[in-house]
A and B are shown apart, each in its own frame.
Chain A
Amino acid sequence: MPDHSTSRTGAPAIRLEAATVQFEQKRLVFSCDIPTGARVAVTGPSGSGKSTLFNVIAGFQPIRSGTVEIFGKDMAGREPAERPVSIIFQENNLFAHLSVEQNVGLGIDPSLRLGAPERQRVEHALARVGLGGYGRRKPGLLSGGERQRVALARALVRSRPILLLDEPFAALDPAMRADMAGLLHDLAAETGSTLMFITHQLEDVRRLADHAIFVDGGTIALMEPIASFLANREIPALARFLGIDR
């Protein structure tokens, strides 16, 4: 992997060193350094291991060998909740039977005992994502884009320095995608969080990312700052994704 990624600060936000996952049929090995405050697009063909990469970082997927370090600390043996990571999926991020307010409140206290100051924080976070006053509603009454923004509000109150988004835009229409990307960009800038998001859309990469990763065949085939990533012509699969091959 290129070495420039550690240039911004001392330790990178995330460092994977030959973090190895063994499935029945295949073996995935990840190595990369994600600089603090980066906004990294994760791309690659279906089944190449993008979600597994996220599961390794978030602690859902145990690794056979190698290391996962976050801000210089080895994450071995740490439960998902003990890692400085929030994760948002394509859908089902909200518990359908709980109100919007409760869903966000879970980010403050996972057993949902909230006092007045906590409620206040929830309301602030909802206002920040443009959903002020939506607290009492149930997720079922919201649009897909609104639900994703509630999930984002929850990540805001958790204030973990790393945010992983597993295809956060996939269920959204084009206008919503643009809104969501804008909001993410602003929030990352405000909080200084490190952002990684999986996407299949070149548009999302251009709009939001300052770095990009290409995952292929269970490894990180390329990690580059955005300009050189988009200019890359050496990996045929990436060229196809970038639409240059035709």
Chain B
Amino acid sequence: MYTTREASAIVRTGGVVLASILLFAGLSTAALLFHAEGGAGGALFDAYLFRVARFTLLQAGLSTILSVALAIPVARALARRRNFPARNWIVRLSALPLGLPALVATLGIVEVWGRRGVVNQALAALGLDNPVSVYGLAGILIAHVFFNLPLAARLLMAGLERIPAEYWLTSANLGMGSGATFRLIEWPVMRGLLPGIAGLVFMLCATSFTIVLTLGGGPAATTIEVAIYQALRFDFDPPRAVILSVLQILLTGTLLYLLRLLGTPAEEAPTAGRAVRRFDGRRGRLSDGLVIAAFTLFTAAPLLAVVMAGLASDLPRLASDPLLHRALVTSLAIALASATLCLAVAMPAVAIAPLAAADSAPAALKYLAGSLQATSSLILLVPPVVVATGWFLMLRSFGEVGRFAPYVVIVINAQMALPFVMRVLQPAYRTHIARTGRLAVSLGVTGLHRLRWIDLPALKRPLLTAFAFAMALSLGDLGAVAIFGADGLVTLPWLLFSRMGSYRTADAAGIALLLGVICLLLTLPSTASGRTAKNDA
């Protein structure tokens, strides 16, 4: 519900936003296509492309199967054990990997699973001298499961928690056993969610850049995104980067289309009615305990390793390192700018939705709103590395890469956060406008007054959550920066990456701790709000 003047302001801003996003993406694509001429063909190249594409799909497929299959017993055990002392902490722990930059997590995983890590030491103590190698496919799988097992378990658990409380009472009254409970109640719910969750995890793993770059990277373990990076940074072969980019877009396009058919998994939705109480908790206490303990250990160990390695590094010396200061300032500036830009782009797209939802809305308006919605997810179709590649090629032809790189990274980071920010803001705004829209208009509190007195105070929480999340995402991003990295743009992740690469592991551990703490503090609100929403239900 808006006044005419408000409505036209929103529509105008929406139009500008749409045009800007399309221009930014369009220029990048044009640059890519312009450089595609004279692409390196040949059988050798085809074989290379095939191998890279196959490995991309293979590691994503295996990661998905492992993550989802392991998530089923974890979700089941956590949903069934509602009242053990550490439950809240474990559920919160399972939200942490989402907020952690991939590079930081990778460092933790190497600490735990690497040659000198706890796992291999334990294996050696048992007399096995053939250590688990964290580099290559095994490491990539461990890292992807570290990120996606908790995610899948949380989504499955949310589904199990939406089961009406009466079902558990009825099943206890009828005397269903553990097997019957799984077969007749839990599995039907999970089966409905699995395709969507698996699709999401597959998508995340197929486009994962940082993990594959750090743990894979050799010719045998390279995904398309990493191959693009290598084509540009190591071999300087733009045509190859372009062909790989096109391949990547085709892949993500197909995946997005399939994902749409599968449906996206629902987030935690409020369950109505009575508090859930499970009566089948008396059974399987031991096996549930083991599952939960293993899950907790697997998820917590890399985090603990980051903390311990970080504290063991020479922090005072690191604190006075001017390069670190520069990287921190650069990263924070980019993160602040990109989060601001992201919200500025998201707000009109969110505000236009109620206008376009009206039956009387003209077709052009509906089209504008629909296009805004679609372009807000454009980055999922054209991944950051690809967009960055386009801009890199274009800026290079003007010889201005270093000067404009930060701005391009800001825009790419903002675009990366956009789908998530929209998901936080959209439902909040919809409820807000339904609650206050008519009242504000009838009282004549409109325009900037309305923004100041009605909208901003009421939406403070979701806006801050979205802002912090966008900042964290930008702070932890390596993909866009990696393409520009050598040209004087040093961010925290880039510094961490180069320290890891040059085997200055103590420095790397200190930087990882700093980066991890900043990002987790920023994403804490979004995980905490999820928790209170669940408690209210």
Contacts and interface: CB of A to CB of B under 8 A. Distances in A.
A9 interface: no
A79 B169 contact: no
A79 B172 contact: yes
A98 B180 CA distance: 13
Contact of B166 (A59, A89, A111): A89
A86 interface: yes
Chain B interface size, as a band, is 20 to 34
A98 B173 CA distance: 17
A107 B273 CA distance: 24
A85 B167 contact: no
A107 B174 contact: yes
Contacts of A85: 173
A110 B166 contact: no
Contacts of B188: 95, 97
Nearest to A160: B173
B279 A80 contact: yes
B169 A60 contact: yes
Contacts of B185: 95
B464 interface: no
A198 interface: no
B169 A81 contact: no
Contacts of A112: 180, 183-184
Contact of A110 (B165, B171, B277): B171
A60 B277 contact: yes
A63 B59 CA distance: 53
A81 B170 contact: no
A80 B183 CA distance: 20
B184 A93 contact: no
Given A60-B277, A111-B180, A92 B166 contact: yes
B279 A110 contact: no
B284 interface: no
Interface in A137-157: none
A215 interface: no
A58 interface: yes
Given A89-B166, A95-B184, A60 B177 contact: no
A110 B167 contact: no
B173 A87 contact: yes
A91 to B, nearest CB: 7
B278 to A, nearest CB: 11
Given A60-B279, A92-B166, A111 B172 contact: no
B166 A81 contact: no
Nearest to B180: A111
B157 to A, nearest CB: 19
25 contacts: A60-B169, A79-B175, A79-B279, A81-B176, A89-B170, A91-B166, A92-B167, A92-B273, A93-B166, A93-B170, A95-B167, A95-B170, A95-B184, A95-B185, A95-B188, A106-B174, A106-B176, A107-B174, A110-B171, A111-B179, A111-B180, A111-B183, A111-B184, A112-B180, A158-B174
In order of increasing CB-CB distance, the 10 nearest A-B pairs are A81-B175, A92-B166, A111-B180, A92-B164, A110-B176, A80-B172, A97-B188, A110-B174, A89-B166, A110-B175
